[in-house]
């Protein structure tokens, strides 16, 4: 009987690996958020992980029960297990995750009003340049933003499709030639955050990265004043 259960034990061990790795923090970690948008995305990720783990655990339990059940055992309760737990439970979990995902997605959309800073991100093979609505200045490879304030990034491209992604601050959004897509990002605290072009755009794709520097109030004022000199 042990040899029958061995594949299930191995599968459960492998499925637990992402959970162990999820605790790792890093410059490009999506589960180490440093802003409100990234925090919502991380919460959604954990909710989906818990929901999928619950479904997986139930399926593994049903399979184990099927292997362990004696051939002569009564079959009266099989419909309850298959219909109630094998169908209804996964559907309820998936429906709850879908609704929660739609709510989170709506909350991530840029909203008008408020103290919002606007910047423009322009991609090309294979670099990023940034312009600022509050200053006649462009920076190359480094995006400056104020910490604790929402920032609308107007994203576009001059050649092929790229993708703007700062994992610790927000989700990713495509940079499309001739089109402007707006992504709202925000940093809880001053610091440096790593960003990447998350869309294969040719041989230089692996080096298509940039840095976001979030300033405190005084630092942001100093940055804008330096641009006006």
pTM higher than 0.85 for the full model?
Answer: no
Task: Assess whether pLDDT exceeds 70 at residue 30.
Answer: yes
What are the structure tokens assigned to 168, written together? 């610790």
- Select from 30, 41, 40 the least CA-distant residue to 193: 30
C-alpha torsion 176→182→186→191, nearest 10: 30
pLDDT-derived band of residue 127, with 50, 70 and 90 as boundaries? Answer: very high
Contacts of 204 (CB under 8 A, 6+ apart): 125, 126
pLDDT-derived band of residue 70, with 50, 70 and 90 as boundaries? Answer: low
Read off the pLDDT of residues 32-59 as tens digits, 9 standing for 90 and up.
999 999 999 999 999 999 988 988 888 8
For residue 177, the 8-state DSSP code is: B
- Select from 12, 96, 16, 83 the least CA-distant residue to 51: 96
pLDDT-derived band of residue 107, with 50, 70 and 90 as boundaries? Answer: confident
Q: What whole-number distance in Å separates Cα of residue 109 and Cα of residue 206?
A: 29
What are the structure tokens assigned to 124, written together? 């090309």
Mean pLDDT to the nearest integer, 203-227: 89
Q: What is the pLDDT of residue 24?
A: 54
Q: What is the pLDDT of residue 74?
A: 58
Read off the pLDDT of residues 139-183 as tens digits, 9 standing for 90 and up.
999 999 999 999 999 999 999 999 999 999 999 999 999 999 999
Mean pLDDT to the nearest integer, 6-29: 55
* 18 vs 101 pLDDT, higher one: 101
Q: What whole-number distance in Å separates Cα of residue 140 and Cα of residue 210?
A: 8
């Amino acid at each position: 009987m042990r040899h029958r259960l061995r594949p299930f034990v191995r599968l459960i061990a492998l499925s637990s690996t992402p959970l162990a790795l999820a605790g790792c923090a890093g410059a490009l970690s999506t589960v180490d958020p440093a802003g409100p948008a990234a925090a919502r995305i991380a919460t959604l990720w954990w909710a989906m992980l818990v929901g999928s783990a619950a479904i997986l655990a139930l399926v593994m339990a049903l399979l184990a029960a099927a292997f362990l059940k004696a051939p002569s055992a009564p079959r009266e309760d099989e419909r309850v297990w298959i219909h109630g737990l094998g169908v209804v439970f996964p559907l309820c979990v998936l429906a709850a995750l879908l609704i929660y995902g739609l709510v989170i997605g709506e909350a991530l959309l840029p909203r008008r009003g408020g103290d919002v800073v606007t910047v423009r991100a322009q991609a090309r093979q294979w670099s990023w340049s940034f312009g600022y609505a509050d200053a006649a200045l462009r920076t190359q490879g480094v995006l400056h933003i104020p910490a604790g304030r929402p920032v609308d990034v107007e994203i576009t491209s001059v050649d092929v499709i790229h993708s703007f992604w700062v994992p610790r601050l927000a989700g990713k959004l495509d940079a499309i030639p001739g089109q402007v897509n707006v992504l709202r990002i925000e940093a809880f605290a001053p610091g440096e955050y790593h960003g990447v072009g998350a869309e294969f755009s040719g041989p230089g794709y692996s080096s298509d990265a940039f840095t976001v520097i979030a300033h405190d109030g005084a630092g942001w004022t100093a940055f804008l004043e330096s641009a006006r000199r």
